[in-house]
Amino acid sequence: MTDLTHIRNFSIVAHIDHGKSTLADRLIQATNTVPDRDMKEQLLDAMDIERERGITIKANTVRIEYDALDGQHYVLNLIDTPGHVDFAYEVSRSMRAVEGSLLVVDSTQGVEAQTLANVYQAIDADHELIPVFNKIDLPASDIDRVAEQVEDVIGIDASGAIPVSAKTGEGIRDVLESIIANLPPPEGNRDAPLKAMLVDSWYDAYLGVIVLVRIKDGVLKKGDRVRFMQNGTVHQVDRIGVFKPSMQTVDDLGPGEIGFLTASIKQVRDTRVGDTITHEKKPCDGPLPGFKPSQPVVFCGLFPVDSAEFEDLRDAIDKLALNDASFSYEMETSAALGFGFRCGFLGLLHLEVIRDRIEREYDIELITTAPSVIYHVFMKDGTKIDLHNPADMPDLTHVDHVEEPRIKATILVPDEFLGDVLKLCQDRRGIQEDLTYAGSRAMVVYDLPLNEVVFDFYDRLKSVTKGYASFDYQLTGYRQDNLVKMQILVNEEPVDALSMMVHRDRAEMRGRAMCEKLKDLIPRHMFKIPIQAAIGGKVIARETLAALRKDVTAKCYGGDATRKRKLLDKQKAGKKKMRQFGKVDIPQEAFISALKMDS
């Protein structure tokens, strides 16, 4: 049993690549939580895909024991969080479980867009913040400039900031002492009825569902019968433990502690993130406020390349959705692609990670359709439809107007690339709202349509600024615009997987690019194939794929020209008939390439 005043709970927040996971490694190493022989880089990033891409995707927790300079023994619970905007939901959940944050800022780069976004989340959660300036071992490090930026841009006092190098381990002791001195201990009553917050849950093949909990009041012991308040299920606790990063069982968890429990839970669905756990016989007075559910931003269809693998895909998606509360899905069918799922994600990186995990962990080859966002379609009879898939767009004669989601994008960019960034945002139908300077860097705020951003905005932004821009966004609401559904017709048959919503002014350009792409991708048939882009009944772009021809006049030598003519006419009639009844096979590769966004 640990005294409450000797517990500190904190998370590490920062922009991408500012050194959160490396700092966590050093804190673990400095306190001998893990023996040196077991130490490896980014110890808390357990998934293969995290180690490969060098990013954190899941927030991970570890319990550190530390003997401070004042001779006391402290327990520190650390949560290492992701930096990418797509995983902001992980960050906001982790913040609710702890009382303070280490704000890590790269002393060579300074404050960036995600630094701002994560700080605001920490302030929303009432956190005490300790600024930490990392990478002081690099020659480009400039602590004074970064301290000035933190005070100007974020508005928090940087006079007590701790300079560290997470790579060499310099300054780590100061960080630990600062955590004990500056972060508040948790509050809680050991004698009150049990009240615990469910922070995360995931599926383990041996133990069933593992539930990460933060105890607010009361004590959780092995063998207790507990109730999950949101859905009313009751379970008996099999084991209780803490992460050091490997699992270690303990006898009980008291107020302020973060640990895990298993209770032979079969369905991850029974463990909703943000739920309150209490004793069955002696419940607490009411549930904790919980988290607001995440709002998916980007939708796309996932289909198996081999339709026989549909059941395996359903199983894989079910299991992934258990581990990832911000991922939503429902079944859908497509004429071209068969059975699959319409899935909602928080962004394109999130989509890529889920797709990679399904392909890698469950060995299923996938086709992903073009990503789209939710549109509000207002009908002439006054009803409103939420449109997830452009293929379901109702007939234009019944539609009054369409609204699309808009975002407020914050871009931090060095001065010399400002012109390119402004041009890029103008091209994407953006409206400039603000332009300020933080040192030599411009901070641009734009109102942009989300569907222009989900395709390849981030890649384009990185390439026009040589990787120096940082980008963060939040949804602001819906606005009416001149949007139309563009269909692709192959041999006069619509291909539903390729239909998309576009702005009328840009439809022709988009349509032409798509037709040209498909012309190169679809193999030639025995008859000529028109490839058209159309809005309603009006064709706006067309390419024709020439037919493969057999030389039927090869056996004619000499004689009258009418003999050749007769054979050619016979062939022409055959091709016309073929074109009427012929089916065009569009290979899977053509779909995949056509859906990769236009550069």
Task: Yes or no: say if 382 and 367 are a contact pair by the CB < 8 Å rule.
Answer: no
- Three-class SS of residue 344? strand
Half-sphere exposure of 527 (CA within 13 A, CB side): 20
**What's the token pair of residue 170?**
């310099």
Alpha-carbon gap, residue 249 to 208, rounded angstroms: 16
* DSSP states of 426-493: HHTT-EEEEEEEETTEEEEEEEEEHHHHHHHHHHHHHHHTTT--EEEEEEEEEEEE-EEEEEEEETTE
Residue 491 known to bind ligand: no
Residue 22 known to bind ligand: yes
Residue 599 known to bind ligand: no
Residue 266 known to bind ligand: no
- The angle at the Cα of 562, spanning 559 to 568, to the nearest 5 degrees, equals 115
Q: Give the amino acid at 274.
A: G
Q: Give the amino acid at 573.
A: A
Virtual torsion, Cα 199, 205, 207, 213, nearest 10 deg: 0
Task: Yes or no: say if 252 and 221 are a contact pair by the CB < 8 Å rule.
Answer: yes
Residue 333 known to bind ligand: no
Q: Which DSSP state fits 150?
A: I
Which helix H or strand E contains 133, and what residues bound it? Answer: strand 128-134
Distances in whole angstroms, Cα of residue 555 to Cα of each of 563, 569, 575: 11, 16, 20
Burial 367-398 (b: 16+ CB within 10 A, else e): bbbbbbbbbbbeeeeeeeeebbbbbebeeeee
Q: For the range 228-234, what are the long-range contacts, defined as Cβ-Cβ under 8 Å and sequence gap of 24 or more?
A: 228/198, 228/270, 228/271, 228/272, 228/275, 228/276, 228/277, 229/275, 229/276, 229/277, 229/278, 229/283, 229/287, 230/272, 230/274, 230/275, 230/276, 230/287, 230/290, 231/270, 231/272, 231/275, 233/270, 234/280
**What's the token pair of residue 454?**
């989900």
Residue 3 known to bind ligand: no
Residue 233 known to bind ligand: no
Task: Yes or no: say if 371 and 299 are a contact pair by the CB < 8 Å rule.
Answer: yes
Residue 17 known to bind ligand: yes
Residue 134 known to bind ligand: yes
Residue 33 known to bind ligand: no
Instruction: Output the known binding site for GTP.
Output: 17-22, 134-137
Instruction: Output the known binding site.
Output: 17-22, 134-137
